[in-house]
Amino acid sequence: MQDFGSAFTLAFQLVLNADADLIEIILLSLKVSLTAVLLSALIGLPLGALLATARFPGRQFCLLLVNALMGLPPVVVGLMVYLMLSNAGPLGWLRLLYSPAAMIIAQTILITPIIAALTAQVISDYEREYRELFRSMGLGLRQRILTLLFDARYSLMTVSLAGFGRAVAEVGAVMIVGGNIDHLTRVMTTSIALETSKGDLALALALGVVLMSLALLVNALVMTTRLTAKRMAHD
Amino acid sequence: MTEAAVRLADIGGCAAVAPLLSARGLRFSAGGQTLIRDLDLHFSNHGISVVMGPNGAGKSVLLRLLHGVLKADAGEVHYAGRVLDEETRRREQAMVFQRPVLLRRSVEANINYVLKLHGKADAGRCQALLEQVGLAAKLRQPARALSGGEQQRLAFARALAAEPRLLFLDEPTANLDPNASAMLEDLMLGAAADGIKLICVSHDAGQARRLATEVVFIHRGEVLAQQSADAFFDRPADPRIEDYLSGRLVL
C-alpha cells in the first residue's frame, strides 16, 4: 500500500497528465449521470408540477410516496434493476445487465423521485401565488403546468443539478447493475471503491479529487443560477 | 375633468341600461363566518361601479364571486343574460389584483402571454398597449424589477390585452403613491371611455368621487346602497354610509 503523500503526488500527476484510463472513467461517469438526469428531468419535472397543480383523489398519497422514494437506498434500487434485467428477470431479453444502459436505468429510478418531489415543493409555492391569476385567465391544467414550469425555470435548474450531484456520487446501484467492468462500466465511484480495496490509492485519490471538483462545480452552478435569477428579479 | 372623464360622462348619458352582470341570491361562508348574505346586485354595461365598504365588509370576496374565481355556496352570477361560465369569463372578463401578480418574465412577455392565450399575438398590439400605460421604453426589462406603480400599470395593460368587456379591479391603487394612483385612475377612466365596464373595489372615497358612475356600498356582506355616484355622495341611502363617509366608526 502506498503512503498517503506519494499517493497524493501520483494522483495529481494522473490528473495533470490527463491519464487515458482516468479520462475514460470520468467521461463514462458523466455520460451515465447526465443521461440519467435528463431522463429524470423529463419524467420528474412534469410529474412534480402535476402533483403540485392538479387536484385529484389520492394526490396526498402520491406526494407522500414521491417524498418517501427520495430516500430510496441505492443498493436496493440496484438490486431491483438487477432482478428485472438478469437473464431470469422479465426484462432479461433486453440483455442490458452490466452495460451503461443498466446503470442509466438504475440512476434514473434513483433520482426521478428526488426531482419530482423537489419540483412539487417549488411549484406549490409558485402555484399558490399564481392561482387566482390562472383562474381569472381561465387556464386549463396543461397551460398552468407549462407556465409554472417556465416561470420556475431557475429553481428547477437547481433541482436538476441536485439530482446530478446525487447521481454522480452514487455507488451502490451502479456497482450492482454495471458490475464495474474495466473499459465498459467502470465509473468514478466504483473505481474508487475497487482501487481502495486493492490498495492502489493513487487512482482512487485522483478520481476522488475529480469527484470533489465536480461537486464543487455543481454547487457553484447552483449558486450562480440562484444569483442570476435574483439579478433578473425572477426569483 | 380629464378628457377620458368627459368621454365617460358622455357614454354614461346615452348608454342602454340592460344589466351586463347580475348576482342573484349570492351567499358565501368561510371559516364558520358568513361573508356574503343572500346578495342581489345588477351592474349596467357601462361606466365604473365602485364597491365600497369598511374593512371586512366582504368587498374583495364579492368581487371574486362576481368574477367567478370564487365559488358561491348559493346563488348565481349571470353575465349578459346567461349563467357565467369559465369560457365566457376567459373571453369577456379580466381582473387586476391589489398586489400585481406578474409572470417571472420580461414586460413584453407578460403582455404577449395573454395575447397568445387569446390568439392575438401581435408585436404591434403589444407595443400599443405598453405605450398606452407608459411602459414602452421598458419592454425588455424583467417585469418584477419595475416599481410598484409600473407593475400595476403593466398588470392593467395585461388585463387589457385580453380585450375584456368587463374588468374587475381589487383595490388597484391601495399600495401606490398618489402619483402612481393618479396615473392608474386616468387609465381606468380611459378604459371605461373606450366602452369597457369596470367594477372596482376601493376604500378611498376621494377615488370613488373621481371615478365612479355608481357606488355599491356593502357592510357585513349585505348591500346597503347601490346608487349613482352623485346620489351616493349627496344623499346616501343609509345613515351608516354617512357615518363611514364622515370617518365615524361603522359597526
Euclidean distance between CA atoms B39 and B34, whole angstroms = 12
Euclidean distance between CA atoms A123 and A47, whole angstroms = 11
Residue A230 or B17, more confident: A230
Q: Give the one of A139, A152, A234 whose C-beta lies nearest to B144's C-beta.
A: A234
Euclidean distance between CA atoms B72 and B51, whole angstroms = 18
Q: Give the one of B101, B104, B142 whose C-beta lies nearest to A133's C-beta.
A: B101
pLDDT recorded at residue B11: 46
Whether residue B45 contacts residue B197, with contact meaning beta carbons closer than 8 Å, is answered with: yes
Beta carbons of B64 and A132 less than 8 Å apart: yes
Query: Percentage of chain B with pLDDT > 90?
Result: 82
Chain A interface test: which of B104, B150, B169 (most A C-beta within 10 Å): B104
Taking one residue from A and the other from B, the number of pairs with CB-CB distance under 8 angstroms is 47
Query: Tens digits of per-residue pLDDT, B109-162?
Result: 999 999 999 998 888 999 999 999 999 999 999 999 999 999 999 999 999 999
pLDDT recorded at residue B180: 94
Smallest CA–CA distance, residue B23 to chain A, in Å, is 18
pLDDT recorded at residue B249: 63
> Which ipTM did the prediction report?
0.88
Helix (H) / strand (E) containing A9: helix A4-16
Joined together, the cell numbers standing for residue A96 give 442490458
Query: Percentage of chain A with pLDDT > 90?
Result: 74
Q: Which residue of B has its CA nearest to A229?
A: B104
Euclidean distance between CA atoms B219 and B216, whole angstroms = 10
pLDDT recorded at residue A53: 97
> How large is the greatest C-alpha to C-alpha distance in chain B, in angstroms?
52
Euclidean distance between CA atoms A96 and A104, whole angstroms = 10
Euclidean distance between CA atoms A51 and B20, whole angstroms = 38
Query: Whole-prediction pTM value?
Result: 0.89
Q: Which residue of A has its CA nearest to B159?
A: A137
**Order of strands across the sheet with B74-79?**
B33-44, B19-30, B74-79, B82-83
Of the pLDDT bands very low, low, confident and very high (cuts 50, 70, 90), residue B13 is very low
Average pLDDT over all residues of chain A = 92
Contacts with A138 from chain B: Cβ below 8 Å = 86-87, 89-90
Query: Tens digits of per-residue pLDDT, A82-131?
Result: 999 999 999 999 999 999 999 999 999 999 999 999 999 999 999 999 99
Of the pLDDT bands very low, low, confident and very high (cuts 50, 70, 90), residue B14 is very low
Beta carbons of B103 and A139 less than 8 Å apart: no
Mean pLDDT within B91-107: 95
Contacts with A135 from chain B: Cβ below 8 Å = 69
Contacts with B67 from chain A: Cβ below 8 Å = 136
Mean pLDDT within A72-82: 96
Mean pLDDT within A164-190: 94
Q: Which residue of A has its CA nearest to B88?
A: A138
Among A169-173, B20-24, B120-124, name the one with the lowest average pLDDT.
B120-124
Q: Give the one of A133, A137, A232 whose C-beta lies nearest to B90's C-beta.
A: A137
Query: What contacts B58, CB < 8 A, 6 or more positions away?
Result: B28, B35, B36, B218, B220, B221
Which residue shows C-alpha cell 357601462? B46
Query: Tens digits of per-residue pLDDT, B43-63?
Result: 999 999 999 999 989 999 999
Residue A40 or A158, more confident: A40
Beta carbons of A136 and B105 less than 8 Å apart: no
Contacts with A151 from chain B: Cβ below 8 Å = 103-105
> How large is the greatest C-alpha to C-alpha distance in chain A, in angstroms?
70
Helix (H, G, I), strand (E, B) or coil at B11: helix
Beta carbons of B69 and A143 less than 8 Å apart: no
Mean pLDDT within B165-174: 96
pLDDT recorded at residue A125: 96
Beta carbons of A234 and B104 less than 8 Å apart: yes
Tell me the CA distances in angstroms from A6 to A1, A209, B162, B189, one per residue in order: 10, 15, 71, 81
What are A94's strand-pairing partners? none
**Confidence check: pLDDT of B15 > 50:** no
Q: What is the DSSP string of B181-195?
A: HHHHHHHHHHHHHTT
**Order of strands across the sheet with B93-96?**
B93-96, B166-170, B197-201, B48-52, B214-219, B222-228
Whether residue B199 contacts residue B51, with contact meaning beta carbons closer than 8 Å, is answered with: yes
pLDDT recorded at residue A12: 82
A137 shares contact with chain B (CB less than 8 Å): yes
Query: Tens digits of per-residue pLDDT, A210-221?
Result: 888 888 888 898
* Residue A109 CB neighbour total at 10 angstroms: 22
Average pLDDT over all residues of chain B = 91
What is A4-234's CATH number, 3.50.50.60, 1.10.3720.10, 1.10.10.10, 3.40.47.10? 1.10.3720.10
CB burial class (10 A; 0-12, 13-18, 19+) of residue A77?
buried
All structural domains of chain A with their residue ranges:
4-234
Joined together, the cell numbers standing for residue B237 give 341611502
Q: Using the CB atoms, write b or e for B52-84: b if 16+ within 10 Å.
A: bbbeebbbbbbbbbbbbbbebeebebebeeeeb
Q: Give the one of B93, B97, B114 whose C-beta lies nearest to A132's C-beta.
A: B97
pLDDT recorded at residue B248: 73
